[in-house]
């Protein structure tokens, strides 16, 4: 009876597969197949989930991918009309029906994705506690030989004693983590009236970490009320753990590279389930306003961006994610020569040595001491104040006429979307899609124009070509020069008219 009771919270948390369809298909496989063949990006409710974009890190480096987010928030590859020869053959249901059950059966792309999606990738689960004498401590973990040094300072952010609950995304080596923190008042002089714990997990990718948010929230409450009750966490780890490769550096890919192949040619960021009540992008737009356009330029230039904010940390981790979304480019080959723009999420002083070696990142912190470490970042965002100590970047903090025009268009599109939601109850599209696609199209427009000019007989950027990118020939001149240098368009000439501001 005890074992069954311990397992109950895990079973309560697990997703319930859809009802079995006629034909004998397994419920989970049928459910995943429906999502794979779904033509639209459906959602359970507006503003509750991020856009369905994802990537995988195969042995040869990041493998860009685009996914479609279903109403349950699961990330799946899209159905496209431009698949390479051979790829679409594996995706046709009618072809699959004619396969003989007795003969050898080729594993289709769909089957591989279904199997992979059902396989969880948790490499560690842990409990961190605050001790009044020793500070943050790793209380318990699985597996026992996992290197979790420093995770106690990531799972309980500096200043968390001021909040009752929080969630934290972070990076630990080659893995991403999610931890749920809770602070409970207790009548104990030893604990000085408060008990603080955090329950977290590590995974090779942050794409699906949101799936375990409710389980972690439940478990941290259980740990506060009944310390040392680890059976549900043990069952969770046994059920969801990933198998590390027998050789190599121990890095587990977020998705098998051969499952996507050449069918995917997009360069997007993974989906993050939005748990903030206002929605991630809505909150981001309202918080920064026109300053989003400044962050957009800095993100596109692959600068090191550090965001400071006092706890709670969870909503600030979403700002990190939103900043990464500003730099999406889907034109093949454009981002090959530039550093990967990666989210570090929450960082503390223990991450200083790691940040010193990063060429491009976005991170957030609750520790004010980082402001003095000017060699660690290019841009410091103190709540809504975007600032830099780099003289070459200071002019980029000023909004150009084109920046204000783009922000006006974004605001108008948001208002139209909100009106459509209110009038028509449109749940297919989301504000996250609108936000992502707005900047994706803007970025593609810039690099498409640059490629066309570079391939023309006269590779000179004129005022007309700059306006064609959606930029201000005078106000965005410095931004454009930085862009040409970073992305390797050094063969392009700049018209003298752009040098006179």
- Give the mean model confidence (pLDDT) for residues 215-228: 94
Ramachandran region, residue 31 (left: φ > 0; alpha: ψ -120 to 50; beta: rest): alpha
Predicted confidence at residue 464, as pLDDT, reads 92
Predicted confidence at residue 270, as pLDDT, reads 52
Q: Which residues of 196-213 are buried (b: 16+ CB within 10 A; e: fewer)?
A: bbbbbbbbbbbbbbbbbb
With a cut of 90, say whether residue 383 has pLDDT above it. no
Structure token pair of residue 437: 């696609």
- Give the mean model confidence (pLDDT) for residues 331-339: 86
pLDDT confidence bin for 358, thresholds 50/70/90: very high
Predicted confidence at residue 436, as pLDDT, reads 87
Structure token pair of residue 305: 């961006």
Predicted confidence at residue 498, as pLDDT, reads 65
With a cut of 70, say whether residue 247 has pLDDT above it. no
Query: CA 450 to CA 337: how far, in whole Å?
Result: 15
Q: Which of 64-78, 149-163, 164-178, 407-421 has the lowest mean pLDDT?
A: 64-78
Check if the beta carbon of residue 75 is closer than 8 Å to that of residue 54.
yes
Query: CA 162 to CA 364: how far, in whole Å?
Result: 18
- Going by C-alpha positions, the residue among 112, 107, 140, 114 that lies closest to residue 126 is 140
- Going by C-alpha positions, the residue among 468, 415, 409 that lies closest to residue 444 is 468
With a cut of 90, say whether residue 475 has pLDDT above it. yes
With a cut of 60, say whether residue 480 has pLDDT above it. yes
What's the pTM? 0.72
- Going by C-alpha positions, the residue among 167, 187, 189, 182 that lies closest to residue 130 is 182
Predicted confidence at residue 261, as pLDDT, reads 29
- Going by C-alpha positions, the residue among 369, 371, 281 that lies closest to residue 319 is 281
The 3 state secondary structure assigned to 55-75 is EEEECCEEEEEECEECCCCCE
- Give the mean model confidence (pLDDT) for residues 70-83: 33
Task: Identify the top-confidence range among 63-67, 76-80, 116-120.
Answer: 116-120
Predicted confidence at residue 120, as pLDDT, reads 60
Q: Which of 86-95, 114-123, 203-212, 385-394 has the lowest mean pLDDT?
A: 86-95
Predicted confidence at residue 427, as pLDDT, reads 62
79-91 tens-digit pLDDT: 333 333 333 333 3
Query: CA 168 to CA 311: how far, in whole Å?
Result: 10
pLDDT confidence bin for 347, thresholds 50/70/90: very high
**Higher confidence at residue 320 or residue 97?**
320
Query: CA 475 to CA 484: how far, in whole Å?
Result: 16
Predicted confidence at residue 13, as pLDDT, reads 39
Predicted confidence at residue 245, as pLDDT, reads 52
**Higher confidence at residue 47 or residue 213?**
213
Q: What are phi and psi of 297, to 5 degrees?
A: -65, -45
- Give the mean model confidence (pLDDT) for residues 222-243: 91
- Going by C-alpha positions, the residue among 34, 238, 22, 190 that lies closest to residue 117 is 34
Ramachandran region, residue 494 (left: φ > 0; alpha: ψ -120 to 50; beta: rest): beta
21-55 tens-digit pLDDT: 344 333 333 333 333 333 333 333 333 333 333 33
Predicted confidence at residue 185, as pLDDT, reads 81
Predicted confidence at residue 187, as pLDDT, reads 75
- Give the mean model confidence (pLDDT) for residues 57-70: 34
Q: Which of 79-83, 357-361, 418-422 has the lowest mean pLDDT?
A: 79-83
Contacts of residue 132, defined as CB under 8 A and 6 or more positions apart, other chains included, come to: 190, 191, 192
111-147 tens-digit pLDDT: 444 443 445 689 999 999 998 888 899 999 999 999 9
Q: Is 180 helix (H, G, I), strand (E, B) or coil?
A: strand
Q: What share of the chain is helix, strand, coil (3-state, %, to 5)?
A: 40, 20, 40
Q: Which of 107-111, 121-125, 190-194, 462-466 has the lowest mean pLDDT?
A: 107-111
Domains (range + CATH), the chain: 124-240 (no CATH), 276-444 (3.40.50.11500)
pLDDT confidence bin for 360, thresholds 50/70/90: very high
Structure token pair of residue 172: 């630990």
Q: Which residues of 128-146 are buried (b: 16+ CB within 10 A; e: fewer)?
A: bbbeeeeebeebbbbeeeb
pLDDT confidence bin for 96, thresholds 50/70/90: very low
- Give the mean model confidence (pLDDT) for residues 298-326: 94
**Higher confidence at residue 219 or residue 257?**
219
Q: Is 365 helix (H, G, I), strand (E, B) or coil?
A: strand
Query: CA 494 to CA 18: how far, in whole Å?
Result: 58
Q: Which of 151-165, 190-204, 234-248, 293-307 has the lowest mean pLDDT?
A: 234-248
With a cut of 90, say whether residue 370 has pLDDT above it. yes
Predicted confidence at residue 89, as pLDDT, reads 36
The share of the chain scoring above pLDDT 70, in percent, equals 66
284-293 tens-digit pLDDT: 888 999 999 9
Tell me how far CA of residue 447 lies from CA of 176, 308, 451, 473, 485, in angstroms: 31, 31, 6, 16, 13
**Higher confidence at residue 57 or residue 165?**
165
């Amino acid at each position: 009876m005890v074992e069954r009771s311990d397992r109950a919270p895990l079973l309560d948390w697990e997703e319930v597969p859809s009802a079995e369809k006629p034909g004998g298909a397994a419920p989970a496989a049928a459910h995943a197949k429906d999502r794979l063949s779904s033509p639209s990006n459906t959602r359970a409710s507006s503003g509750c989930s991020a856009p369905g974009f994802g990537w995988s890190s195969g042995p040869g480096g990041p493998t860009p991918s685009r996914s479609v987010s279903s109403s349950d928030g699961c990330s799946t590859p899209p159905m496209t009309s431009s698949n390479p020869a051979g790829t679409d053959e594996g995706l046709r249901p009618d072809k699959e029906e004619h396969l003989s059950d007795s003969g050898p059966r080729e594993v289709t792309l769909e089957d591989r994705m279904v199997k992979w999606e059902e396989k969880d990738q948790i490499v560690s689960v842990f409990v961190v506690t605050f001790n009044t004498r020793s500070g943050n401590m790793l209380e318990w973990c699985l597996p026992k030989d996992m290197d979790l040094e420093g995770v106690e300072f990531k799972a309980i952010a500096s200043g968390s004693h001021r909040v009752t609950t929080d969630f934290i995304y972070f990076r630990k080596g080659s893995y991403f983590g999610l931890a749920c923190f809770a602070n409970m008042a207790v009548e104990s002089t030893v604990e000085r009236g408060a008990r603080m714990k955090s329950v977290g997990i590590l995974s090779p990718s942050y794409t699906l970490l949101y799936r375990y948010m409710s389980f972690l929230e439940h478990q941290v409450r259980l740990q506060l009320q009944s310390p040392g009750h680890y059976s549900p966490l043990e069952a969770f780890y046994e059920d969801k753990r990933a198998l590390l490769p027998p050789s190599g550096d121990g890095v587990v890919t977020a998705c098998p590279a051969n499952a996507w192949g050449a069918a995917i040619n997009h360069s997007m960021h993974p989906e993050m389930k939005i748990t903030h009540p206002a929605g991630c992008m809505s909150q981001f737009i309202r918080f920064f306003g026109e300053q989003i356009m400044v962050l957009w330029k800095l993100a596109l230039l692959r600068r090191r961006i550090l965001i400071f904010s006092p706890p709670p940390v969870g909503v600030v981790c979403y700002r990190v994610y939103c900043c990464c979304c500003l730099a999406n480019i889907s034109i093949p080959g454009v981002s090959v020569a530039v550093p990967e723009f990666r989210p570090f999420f929450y960082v503390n002083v223990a991450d200083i040595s790691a940040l010193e070696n990063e060429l491009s990142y976005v991170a957030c912190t609750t520790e004010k001491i980082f402001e003095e470490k000017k060699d660690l970042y290019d841009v410091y965002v103190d709540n809504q104040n975007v600032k830099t100590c780099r003289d070459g970047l200071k002019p980029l903090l000023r909004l150009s006429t084109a920046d204000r025009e783009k922000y006006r268009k974004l605001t108008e599109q948001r208002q139209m979307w909100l009106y459509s939601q209110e009038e028509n109850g449109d749940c297919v599209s989301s504000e996250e899609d609108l936000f992502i696609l707005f900047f994706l199209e803007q970025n593609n427009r810039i690099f498409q124009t640059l490629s066309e000019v570079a391939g023309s007989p006269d590779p000179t950027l004129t005022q007309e070509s700059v306006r064609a990118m959606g930029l201000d020939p005078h106000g965005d001149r410095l931004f454009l020069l930085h862009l040409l240098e970073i992305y390797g368009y050094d063969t392009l000439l700049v018209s003298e008219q752009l040098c006179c501001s």
